[in-house]
Amino acid sequence: MENVRKLPEVKYQELELFIDNLEAPKESLIQVLHKAQSIFGYLPSEVQLFIARKLDIPASEVFGVVSFYSYFSTEPKGEHTISVCMGTACYVKGSEKLMNRLESELNIKSGETTKDNKFTLKGVRCIGACGLAPVITVNEKVYGKVKEDDIKNILNEYI
């Protein structure tokens, strides 16, 4: 059965053009995946299958690479990614409460994206700033010694 594509055809065309201009497409899987993620924002299975067919390589190879590297995402991401450190130092200092507060403010669970695509929320392992525990990051910006009551103000910076 023909695979039904849900994502915009014009994005597929952009990716196809990029692949067609590569000198050695088969050897350029990582490069193609980077490009695909920047075009689509994430790499759902329909895009991964398209790449496998286009490069004429097994889909399992594409799936394997995507799941191996954490910078490839198979879920849509919001405009801003909020990461709550769940490492030991942060956990002991109350990062779970911060996560709970964020979940209720944003009305989503960890790992999800808000309906308006503004925020993605996730728990992460120690980011190496334990002296600032508990730590959350929004995109690349680090917030240290965060208290529950700071959450609203932090979110307001991005609304």
Under the rule (CB under 6 A), what is the footprint of ligand FES?
Answer: 85, 87-90, 126-130, 133, 135
Contact, 62 vs 51, CB < 8 A? yes
Contact 123, 87 (CB under 8 A): no
Strand partners, 69: none
Smallest distance from ligand FES to CB 44, Å: 31
Of all residues in the shown chain, the one whose CB is closest to ligand FES is 87
Residue 91 C-beta: closest distance to ligand FES, Å: 7
d(CA 122, CA 24): 36
Is 58 marked as binding a ligand? no
For ligand FES, which is the closer residue by CB, 37 or 95? 95
- Rounded to 5 degrees, what are φ and ψ at 136? -125, 155
Q: Which is nearer to ligand FES, 36 or 135 (CB)?
A: 135
In this structure, what token pair is assigned to residue 105? 């403010």
Nearer to ligand FES, 13 or 88 (CB): 88
Report the residue count for the chain.
159
Instruction: List the binding residues.
Output: 85, 90, 126, 130
Instruction: List the binding residues for [2Fe-2S] cluster.
Output: 85, 90, 126, 130
